């Protein structure tokens, strides 16, 4: 509740009998909602921000339940610079709902990193379908058993690799924020994007921040008008 005794929309927690846990995190609730809509053997691909992959508390509960009740088989780490909410890092989580079972349905989670050392913007360097070609080839939709990793100790730049369930369960808070490629921009300034790309990213960040501030102002003005009515 806020100072006016009204429920703050940002802190509103949804409690539903078909949800695994109650939380005010809209993204976690969205994942739970999608799972609840799926029929047994139904398939889903859900775009989620990074916090869904590593947040503790309710996040850990949702991930554990999802791995148990569904076959969470693929995670695509999306590059930054492809959404208007510029600061948000997103992923696509692929999973199939399964019937009830004592043991987790997820056995192996395959991860494709389309983010590290890749730079896109909404205007000057937009992501194109060709940028997804390798992922589509690796995905093997008709027979996932034929998947082959492109990453190995002898090929450390490969962007496609599997993680077994035991390894996932041993991670702190059952984090699915999985990455292994060396970020060259953190080590070598010569590998930074072109100045124009950096300027575009900064401008997009500022626009996104301004939109959020204007949204807050509009909300505050609306509350002031309601209280004065």
Integer angstrom CA distances of residue 122 from 4, 169, 202: 40, 37, 12
Cα–Cα dist 124/105, whole Å = 42
Each of the 229 residues of the chain gets a pLDDT tens digit; together they read 334 434 444 556 667 888 999 999 999 999 999 999 999 999 999 999 999 999 999 999 999 999 999 999 999 999 987 775 656 789 999 999 999 999 999 999 999 999 999 988 777 788 899 999 999 999 998 899 999 999 999 999 999 999 999 999 999 999 999 999 998 876 555 556 677 766 776 776 677 667 768 877 877 887 777 766 5
What pLDDT is stored for residue 122 in this prediction? 75
Structural domain boundaries in the chain = 9-228
Tokens (6 digits) for 183: 């970020």
Cα–Cα dist 33/64, whole Å = 16
Helix runs in 38-180, H state only: 51-54, 58-69, 133-139, 165-169
What pLDDT is stored for residue 190 in this prediction? 57
What pLDDT is stored for residue 4 in this prediction? 41
Tokens (6 digits) for 97: 């709902």
CATH match of 9-228 with 1.10.420.10: no
The pTM assigned to this predicted structure is 0.77
Residue with tokens 């990213």: 201
DSSP category for residue 18: T
What pLDDT is stored for residue 170 in this prediction? 98
Where does the chain show beta strands of DSSP type E? 43-49, 70-77, 90-97, 108-113, 160-164
């Amino acid at each position: 509740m806020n100072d006016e005794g009204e429920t703050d929309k940002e802190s509103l927690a949804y409690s539903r009998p078909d949800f695994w846990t109650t939380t005010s995190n809209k993204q976690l609730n969205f994942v739970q909602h999608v799972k609840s809509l799926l029929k047994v053997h139904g398939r889903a691909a859900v775009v989620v921000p990074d916090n869904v992959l590593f947040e503790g508390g309710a996040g850990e509960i949702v991930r554990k339940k999802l791995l148990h009740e569904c076959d969470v088989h693929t995670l695509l780490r999306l590059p930054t610079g492809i959404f208007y909410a510029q600061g948000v890092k997103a992923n696509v989580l692929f999973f199939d709902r399964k019937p009830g079972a004592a043991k987790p349905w997820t056995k192996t989670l395959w991860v494709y990193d389309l983010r590290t050392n890749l730079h896109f913007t909404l205007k000057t360097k937009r992501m194109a379908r060709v940028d997804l070609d390798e992922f589509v080839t690796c995905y093997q939709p008709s027979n996932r058993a034929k998947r082959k990793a492109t990453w190995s100790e002898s090929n450390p730049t490969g962007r496609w690799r599997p993680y077994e369930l035991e390894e996932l369960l041993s991670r702190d808070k059952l984090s699915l924020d999985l990455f292994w490629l060396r970020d060259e921009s953190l080590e070598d300034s010569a590998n930074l994007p072109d100045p124009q790309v950096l300027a575009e990213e900064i401008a997009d960040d500022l626009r996104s921040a301004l939109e959020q501030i204007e949204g807050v102002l509009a909300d505050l003005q609306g509350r002031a008008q309601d209280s004065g009515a």
